[in-house]
Amino acid sequence: DPVLQYLETLKDGEKPRRVVVARESESLRTVYPVVGGRGRVECLHDSGSQVVSTSKARAMELGLSWDPSVVIYMQSANGQVEKSLGICRDVPFDFGHMTVYLQVHVIENPAYDILLGRPFDVVTRCVAHNGRDGSQ
């Protein structure tokens, strides 16, 4: 236990500093807007992504069309690089109290349905407050 090791290395009379230990993992942040007016979809909120993206299968299920002339190369967390299939323009995401229109890159087979990256944060002025108990 690193905390016990730290406490055991303190010199006599030395006041210990506050030590905070993170859990092994935390739940991902998800929201469930109605996308494209077609259905409620689980969206993974990831402020570390530069784009909003979706799987090809989900885009087709939602009846979204995309422009194949606008492609980007996406690098995933495991380092793989994949060319996108195109971009869906001005897709409505209805959160009940607010509708935002996002530009959504289509990816062949990502590990998520829809990923809400930085463009979502910017347009909504999103600020997340994380509690030590994992709440937001």
pLDDT digits (tens, 9 = 90+) for 18-27: 887 777 776 7
Which SS3 state, helix, strand or coil, does residue 128 take? coil
pTM of structure: 0.78
Residue 20, H or E segment: none
Q: Which residues contact 14 (CB under 8 A, 6 or more apart)?
A: none
- For residues 2 and 8, what is the distance between their CA atoms, to the nearest angstrom? 10
- Residue 28 and residue 62: Cα distance in Å, rounded? 23
Q: Does domain 30-124 have CATH number 1.10.357.140?
A: no
| Mean pLDDT of the 88-94 span | 97
